[in-house]
Amino acid sequence: MSTKKFQWNEGLVMDTFGLKKVYAKDIPILVDWISANEDLSDLDLVFLEKLRAKAEIKIEAWNEEELKMHYLSYIIGFANYNDDDENYNVYFERPITAEVEGHKISVIVDLMIAQGVLEYIKKPYFCFHEYKRAKKNNDDPIAQVLLAMLAARENNKNNKPVYGAYIIGRNWYFMVLENKNFAVSEPFSCTGKEDLYSIISILRKFKTIIKTQLL
């Protein structure tokens, strides 16, 4: 087993684990996921507009914890992941570890949607990282999400796709790892009305994906 301390970046993860980055259109399940268009009620729209307007003014000034407390936690709650469904729980700041192809992976995941019992995480389905500033080699969000996805798939003991996302500033990117291929969506700006509605729809649709494709 490799014990070398890597400064992981996207290219190194790809090279180490033989991954290939493809266009989003080449992974149909990603296209289907990000095409979600859920109906939103008038009350939904009022709440989202208040959240969006606050973020438009303040998001660039928030640090990671402020982004999580002032925005991300509300988005996840609004997507109805706190409805006590036995098929998934939402976990914040949880470690995920695995040995993958001779390399030990250990990552702290900012947000994870997983099947679990209380603090015990059984099957991670979705790994999410948030970053305030632009991508850097030693703090690369794509690399961190890919590592978490690889560890999740290894722990799940199946070859089903793993889903993920990351934020840089106001932009959300959604990802799928399928076999050795992965793709990243175009950005969705959480301070744009239509993009914010899409983000909510994508997150809500993932609950259906869990029940119909991942269980």
Q: What is the pLDDT of residue 178?
A: 96
Burial 13-32 (b: 16+ CB within 10 A, else e): bbebeebeeeebeebeebee
pLDDT in tens, 15-45: 999 999 999 999 999 999 999 998 888 888 9
Residues of the chain with pLDDT under 70: 1-6, 82-84, 132-139
β-strands 20-21, 181-184: how paired? parallel
Interatomic CA distance for residues 179 and 161, integer angstroms:
7
Q: What is the pLDDT of residue 133?
A: 56
SS3 183: strand
Interatomic CA distance for residues 12 and 104, integer angstroms:
14
The closest alpha carbon to 193, from 168, 170, 177, belongs to 170
Q: What is the pLDDT of residue 137?
A: 45
Q: What is the pLDDT of residue 118?
A: 77
Q: What is the pTM of this model?
A: 0.90
10-214 CATH? 3.90.1570
